[in-house]
Amino acid sequence: MELPPFRPPSEAFSYLIRVVRGCNWNRCLFCSMYKAIKFEQRAKEEILRDIDEIPKYFPKSNSAFLGDSNPLIHKDIVEIVRYLKAKRPELERITAYARIKTIANMQEEKLEELKSAGLTRLHMGLESGDDEILGLVQKGITAEDAIKAGKKAGKFFETTYYVITGLGGAERSERHAKNTARVINEAKPTFVRIRNLTITNPDMEGLIKPLGAEEQLLELKNLIEGIKTETYFTCDHVSNYLFTERGPIFTGVHGRIPEEKEEMLRLIEDTLETVKALRKAGVEVFTSNDMFRMGLISL
Nearer to ligand SF4, 34 or 286 (CB): 34
The minimum distance between CB 2 and ligand SF4, in angstroms, equals 18
Q: How far apart are the first and last CA of the chain?
A: 24
Nearer to ligand SF4, 64 or 137 (CB): 137
The minimum distance between CB 282 and ligand SF4, in angstroms, equals 38
Nearer to ligand SF4, 99 or 221 (CB): 99
The minimum distance between CB 139 and ligand SF4, in angstroms, equals 6
Residues with Cβ within 8 Å of 295's Cβ and at least 6 positions away in sequence, in order, are none
The minimum distance between CB 140 and ligand SF4, in angstroms, equals 7
Instruction: Provide the binding-site residues for ligand SF4, judged by CB under 6 A.
Output: 23, 25-26, 28, 31, 33-34, 69, 99, 125
Nearer to ligand SF4, 21 or 172 (CB): 21
Strands (E), the chain: 15-18, 20-21, 40-41, 63-67, 93-98, 121-127, 158-165, 191-196, 231-234, 242-244, 247-250, 254-257
- 64 closest CA partner among 142, 137, 12, 105: 12
Instruction: Please confirm whether the linkage preceding 68 is cis (ω < 30° from 0).
Output: yes
Kind of pairing between the strands at 63-67 and 93-98: parallel
CB count within 10 Å of CB 171 equals: 10
Nearer to ligand SF4, 70 or 287 (CB): 70
Spatial distance between the Cα atoms of 276 and 8, rounded to a whole number of angstroms:
33
Spatial distance between the Cα atoms of 291 and 77, rounded to a whole number of angstroms:
39
- 242 closest CA partner among 269, 262, 271, 264: 271
Nearer to ligand SF4, 294 or 299 (CB): 299
The minimum distance between CB 31 and ligand SF4, in angstroms, equals 3
Amino acid at 244: T
Nearer to ligand SF4, 141 or 268 (CB): 141
The minimum distance between CB 28 and ligand SF4, in angstroms, equals 3
Spatial distance between the Cα atoms of 100 and 143, rounded to a whole number of angstroms:
10
Spatial distance between the Cα atoms of 196 and 253, rounded to a whole number of angstroms:
13
The minimum distance between CB 69 and ligand SF4, in angstroms, equals 4
